[in-house]
């Protein structure tokens, strides 16, 4: 079962980066195989939160490259994202679990230089609640 936990950690880590991946499917499968829900949630939350830290680090150093020709984001896009984050604040990091926009929030948090400890608490809390929800919802799915 250790391989299952490592696979869950890896899938959760990748799912938090810009790569499209759904760790909930892996969590659900491991729950059906009799995995301990507490350890599975902890593993998935840790992996997903650490994956989000990768985005935060990228955001911290992203603007160093904004004058390069290959830089992906326009100045207007960055300004708009910064204004949005300033308007709604760091509490939006509780929504970093969302499949659409969650990764962008963690990147913007890095650009906005949100303190890492604040980032870890809010992102970890939001992602943990998502995985706990998967555990509870898995009881409703018949197999």
Is 14 inside any structural domain?
A: yes
Is 143 inside any structural domain?
A: no
Closest CA to 48 of 113, 143, 129, 109: 129
Is 53 inside any structural domain?
A: yes
Q: Could you give the count of Cα atoms lying within 13 Å of 91 in the half-sphere of its Cβ? A: 3
The residue segments making up the domain with residue 79 are 2-138
User: What pLDDT, in 10s, does the model give residues 25-62?
Assistant: 999 999 999 999 999 999 999 999 999 999 999 888 88
Give Dmax over CA atoms of the chain in angstroms: 54
Residue 135, classified by CB atoms within 10 Å of its CB into exposed (0-12), middle (13-18) or buried (19+), is: middle
The structure's pTM equals: 0.86
In the chain, the number of structural domains is: 1
DSSP-derived letter for residue 65 is G
pLDDT the model gives residue 122: 96
Tokens of residue 46, six digits = 């840790």
| Better pLDDT: 84 or 24 | 24
pLDDT grade for 69, boundaries at 50, 70 and 90: confident
Q: What number of other Cβ atoms are within 10 A of residue 108's Cβ? A: 22
Is 43 inside any structural domain?
A: yes
Tokens of residue 102, six digits = 């969650």
User: What pLDDT, in 10s, does the model give residues 90-116?
Assistant: 899 998 988 777 888 898 899 889 999
**CB distance 36 to 89 below 8 Å:** no
pLDDT grade for 89, boundaries at 50, 70 and 90: confident
């Amino acid at each position: 079962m250790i391989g299952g936990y490592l696979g869950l950690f890896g899938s959760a880590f990748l799912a938090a980066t810009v790569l499209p991946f759904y760790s909930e499917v892996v969590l659900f499968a491991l729950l059906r195989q009799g995995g301990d829900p507490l350890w599975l949630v902890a593993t998935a939350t840790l992996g997903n939160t650490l994956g989000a830290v990768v985005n935060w680090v990228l955001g911290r150093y992203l603007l160093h490259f904004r004058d390069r020709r290959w830089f992906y984001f326009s100045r207007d896009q960055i300004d708009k994202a910064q204004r949005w984050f300033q308007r709604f604040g760091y509490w939006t990091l509780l929504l970093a679990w969302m499949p659409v926009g969650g990764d962008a929030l963690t990147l913007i948090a890095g650009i906005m230089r949100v303190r890492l400890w604040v980032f870890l608490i809010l992102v970890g809390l939001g992602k943990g609640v998502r995985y706990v929800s998967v555990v509870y919802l898995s009881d409703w799915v018949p197999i």
